[in-house]
Amino acid sequence: MKVQKNLSIIFLFIIFHASTFAQKITIKLNEPGGLPHFGANVNLQKINSKKQLNAVSDLEGKAFFLLNEKGNYKLKITSVGYKSIEKEIQISGETESIEFTIEEDAKSLQSVVVTAKKPLMTQEEDKTIVDPEPIANTSTNSYEILEKIPGIFLDQDGNIYLNTTTPAKVYINGREQKLGPSDIAAILKSLPPGAIDKIELIATPSASMDASSSGGVVNVILKKGVKLGRTGTVSAGFNQGTFGNQFIGINLNRSQDKRSSYLQFNLNKRNSFDDTQFERLISTDDKPKKLNSSSYSVFPAYGFFTGLGANFDISKKLELGYDGRLNINKSESKIDNISKVVLMSNESVLSGNTNALQNDNFTYNINQGINGKYKFDSLGSMLKADISMDYFETNGGQNYSTNFTSPSIFLVSGHGDLLNKRMLFTSMLDFKYYFPHKITLEAGVKNTLLNFDGDTQFSIIKDGTIQTDNFRTNQFLYKENINAAYLQASKSFGKFLLKMGGRLENTRMNGHQLVPADTTFKIDRTDFFPYIYFSRKLFTIATYELRGYLIARRTITRPVYEQLNPFARFVDQYNYEAGNPGLKPQFSNNYEANISFENRPIFAIGRNYINDIFTSVVYQDKTNPLLSYRTYDNLGKNRETYFRAMGALPPGAKYFFVLGTQYNYNDYSGLLDNKPISFSRGSWSLFTYHQLKINKLTNISMHGFARFKGQMQFYELSNFGALNFYIDRQFFNRKLSVSANISDVFLTNRYDFSLNQGNISGNGRRLSDTRRFGVNLRYSFGQKKKSSDGMDFLDMGSGEQK
């Protein structure tokens, strides 16, 4: 006991002595353009001493040292493709951070190829940065990349969820798309997997981003011209389930002294199915009935994507850029539905019919953007301007037929033509300046103009007569103008960082339905959205920092034109979908606390208070109880509590393991169909990722998720999940990458659901074409460089250098 006591005293003395004299020094590295330089080797040696310390700059360009002595040190910085820096620096008691600009070395860049280890996820203040490269090799499109990111959940309608059960907004290159989830999913499915540079997951956006982000923001940053000389990749792949997906694409980059450019092409063919069964109770008299429906849908589609752009360094301070994208999609949906009305007492069939529905759509999306950046200094102070135009058009047709088989036999059929045009113009100006005394000021303005024109003409054939279908024929005009301005400032106080700001947004919406009835609605309102962010260093383990964050903000969710358009979209003889022009925006107050370990997110807990919540609901028709329709409505209030935890064990070189969990509890109260509702439900999610490095060229990986007691609006879901396995191998001096994968191995990504709200009571099941086997090929050519890095908390790279 005495020996143990003495050892404890000595141990505590050593820790106390180290903490008394130790000082953390930060070496900050910037590239000539002002961007942080990642992966440089930094060596620090005290003058007249043989002891050396080594570190590697992180994604923020920072290398950290814990020094026990003051005095003069010899600093040496090296990075492949860049000129080395050797300086003598003096460390005093007040020294905290030293900054350098590292310059490219054209001669060494010509003959060096380095394969990097990159962290999958890193934390930068209020956003998580995801590097898609480790999972791009096993994906056929960008949508599949999002599906494989640990902790992100995508439902079968195309919605993307982060921490909460409110869908996140999707941005591409920092620009909100203002499209419905199905349209955004179609765009992402047409993007090649190698087109994404990084993905920003922003669960709690600051005042610098749009206030309409209650569920957070997923910002997909596409690759642009990078300064790597002349490089390119050719990729192709397929996966096969009941149906299959195939793609082929090419990506070219070229850079010269002061300009860089890129060109991308991608062709894809995809197909899948959806199988849904639903049983709904019908109470029209003293004889309870039920409606049984079975729907099988097939979704073949073809897509073409091309992107091009260029960046110009006008001077050391001024940069200009252009990027353009063209998406073309030809899609079909073939839906066969069987419906029966059954008397519950004896299961006798009162009526029955079969429905056949076919949609043929041709859509194209053109995006053009010009951006500029002026840098005031090497610290990152800058003025950014961005102007973009986005045009989206859908030209399609629909054929449907309903064949009644009992109690009498007759046929009803019809045809429709639809033309939707959407024009979005966005301009924004952002200012950021780093003042002395660790003060940062941010300000900006933004203007968004949206015009939507929807024209749908339907005809119905009944008893051999063709006539206009007034129920489905619709013409709808919609205009939206949002003007915004924000101001926020931050200041560091030792271990603390405080950021406060606010955003003012003026919203103008004008909807005009011309057919079938002349109705209008207008919204003109101005709202203020405060934001506060507080960060504190909690403690340091060795040289790794544990940091805590507190965030409070107010947001708005505005209904989009699809949710406002009263046009009735035919599903089958007993179901249709329609918008609600009377929808009001919903407001959310969000409070969150989270913790990161060495800039890696590991824990978050928060609560949302939502007023005037609007969500998808199903109503029974007042005049015909057999008919139900899906729409959107304001219901009342929702209080959502959530927490998330994520960790990695063990951080070794051969084997990598990530495990995370998330819990959401929703408590609704309000009115549904003019009846009081009280609905609460908690759900768990688990997600994991494993990687085993067989050798320098071969990796085996697995990722999966599970959801328990899931929820989708007011639908209660059963337990479901999926496990996916991958193997990839590199050939020809790492220029060729070949991967094989199988998704949803045990066919568990299917679920049962129930709906018991208002006058709707029913249950069913849903499954899709999720179990697939695939092979991907990617060949890289040209000269390129990447930086090597040490072991990382969420590292998924190869870790090899040549």
Which residue bears the tokens 């529905």? 357
- For residues 331 and 144, the model is more confident at 331
In this predicted structure, the answer to whether residue 115 has a pLDDT above a threshold of 50 is no
What is the per-residue pLDDT for 652?
A: 54
126 contacts: CB under 8 Å, gap ≥ 6: 202, 203, 204, 205, 206, 533, 549, 551
Weakest mean pLDDT among 450-459, 460-469, 770-779? 460-469
Any idea which of 109-123, 387-401, 696-710 has the lowest mean pLDDT? 109-123
Quick one: average pLDDT of 194-206?
87
**Token pair of 725 as six digits:** 């396995």
Are 151 and 647 in contact by the 8 Å Cβ rule? The answer is no
For residue 542, the model assigns a pLDDT of 65
pLDDT at res. 122: 73
Quick: pLDDT tens for 7-44.
Answer: 444 444 433 443 444 567 888 888 876 677 877 888 88
State mean pLDDT over 32-58: 79
Q: Which residues pair with 436 in a beta bridge?
A: none
The ranges assigned to domains in the chain are 2-109, 121-782
Banded model confidence at residue 613, pLDDT cuts 50, 70, 90: confident
Copy the structure tokens of residue 271: 């197909």
Q: Residue 176 in contact with residue 211, Cβ under 8 Å?
A: no
The DSSP bridge pattern shows strands 97-101 and 23-30 to be: parallel
Rounded CA gap, 492 and 276, in Å?
A: 54
Please state, in angstroms and rounded to a whole number, the distance separating the CA atoms of residues 68 and 23.
6
Phi, psi of 9 (to 5 degrees): -65, -45
> Confidence class of residue 723 from pLDDT cuts 50, 70 and 90?
very high
Given pLDDT bands bounded at 50, 70 and 90, which one contains residue 118? low
Burial per residue of 127-136, b for 16 or more beta-carbon CB atoms within 10 angstroms, e otherwise: bbbbbbbbbb
pLDDT surpassing 70 at residue 299? yes
Q: What is the C-alpha separation between 367 and 205, in angstroms, rounded? A: 24
Cis ω before 132 (30° cut-off from 0)? no
CA distance 195 to 143: 11
Closest by CA position to 584, among listed 640, 531, 529, 521: 521
What are the phi and psi torsion angles at 235 (to 5°)? -135, 150
Task: Report percent pLDDT > 90 for the chain.
Answer: 38
- State phi, psi for 8 to the nearest 5 degrees: -65, -40
Residue 365 has pLDDT above 80, yes or no: yes
Q: For 378-400, how does the pLDDT look when each residue is reduced to its tens digit (9 = 90+)? A: 788 999 999 999 999 999 999 98
> Higher pLDDT residue, 67 or 558?
558
Q: Which of 123-132, 420-429, 639-648, 669-678 has the highest mean pLDDT?
A: 420-429
| pLDDT for the residue 607 | 95
Average pLDDT over every residue of 595-606: 84
Helix/strand/coil (H/E/C) assignment for every residue in 559-601: CCHHHHCCCCEEEECCEEECCCCCCCCEEEEEEEEEEEECCEE
| Yes or no: domain 121-782 corresponds to CATH 2.40.170.20 | yes
Q: How far apart are CA 26 and CA 63, in angstroms?
A: 6
Q: What is the pLDDT of residue 511?
A: 85
**R_g over Cα of the chain:** 29
Average pLDDT value over all residues in the chain: 83
Encoded amino acid at 636, one letter: G
β-bridge pairing 628-648 and 575-577: parallel
Proportion of the chain above pLDDT 70, given as a percent: 89
Angle at 167 between CA 161 and CA 168, to 5 degrees: 80
Q: How far is 431 from 444, CA to CA, in rounded Å? A: 6
Going through 377-435 in order, the beta strands assigned E by DSSP cover: 382-406, 410-435
User: Mean per-residue pLDDT for 629-637?
Assistant: 86
User: How many Cβ atoms are within 10 Å of 789's Cβ, its own excluded?
Assistant: 20
Helix (H) or strand (E) holding 645, with range, is strand 628-648
106 conformational bin, left if phi > 0, alpha if psi -120 to 50, beta if neither:
alpha
Mean pLDDT, rounded, for 511-528? 86
Which residues have CB under 8 Å from 135's CB, separation 6+? 145, 148, 149, 796
Question: How many Cα atoms within 13 Å fall on the side-chain side of residue 19?
Answer: 10
Q: Which of 298, 303, 158, 182 is nearest to 242 (CA)?
A: 298
Contact 681, 657 (CB under 8 A): no
Provide the token pair at 416: 């429709």
pLDDT of residue 366: 95
Q: Which of 91-105, 298-312, 500-514, 746-760 has the lowest mean pLDDT?
A: 91-105
pLDDT at residue 16, as a whole number:
40
For residue 185, the cross-strand partners are: none
Residues in the chain, total = 802
Q: What are phi and psi of 565, to 5 degrees?
A: -70, 120
- Over residues 546-562, the mean pLDDT reads 88
65: its two tokens: 């040292």
Global pTM reads 0.76
Cα gap 262→229, rounded to integer Å: 11
The pLDDT confidence band at residue 440, using thresholds 50, 70 and 90, is very high
Measured CA to CA, the distance from residue 89 to residue 346 in angstroms comes to: 90
**What DSSP string describes 92-138?**
-TT--EEEEE--B-HHHHTS---PPP-BSEEEETTEEEE--HHHHTT
Max Cα-Cα span within the chain: 103
Q: Give CA–CA dist 763/637, Å, rounded.
A: 25
CA distance 742 to 241: 10
Task: Name the least confident of 161-170, 243-252, 334-343, 729-738.
Answer: 161-170
More confidently predicted of 507 and 630: 507
* Pairwise pLDDT comparison (420 vs 616), residue with the higher score: 420
List the single range of 109-113, 344-348, 752-756 with lowest mean pLDDT. Answer: 109-113
Architecture of 2-109 per CATH? Sandwich (2.60)
Residue type, 84: S
CA distance 1 to 477: 84
Q: If DSSP states are collapsed to H, E and C, what string results for 707-758?
A: EECCEECCEEECCEEEEEEEEEEEECCCCEEEEEEEECCCCCCCEEEEEEEC
Model confidence over 150-189: pLDDT tens digits?
878 887 777 888 878 788 888 988 888 777 777 788 888 8
CB 264 within 8 A of CB 295: no
The winner for highest mean pLDDT among 138-152, 180-194, 198-212, 224-238 is 198-212
Q: How would residue 273 be classed by pLDDT, with cut points 50, 70 and 90?
A: very high
Whether pLDDT at 81 is above 80: no
The count of other CB atoms within 10 Å of the CB of residue 470 is 12
Average pLDDT (50-71) is 79
> Residue 271 and residue 325: Cα distance in Å, rounded?
23
Q: What is the pLDDT of residue 474?
A: 86
Check residue 189 and give its pLDDT: 83
Task: Tell me the pLDDT tens digit for each residue of 307-327.
Answer: 998 989 899 899 999 999 999
H/E stretch holding 189: helix 181-190
More confident residue, 701 or 577: 701
Per-residue pLDDT at 33: 64
Instruction: Provide the token pair at 307.
Output: 């992107």
Burial zone of 592 (CB within 10 Å; 0-12 exposed, 13-18 middle, 19+ buried): buried
What is the bridge-based pairing of β-strands 600-620 and 628-648? antiparallel
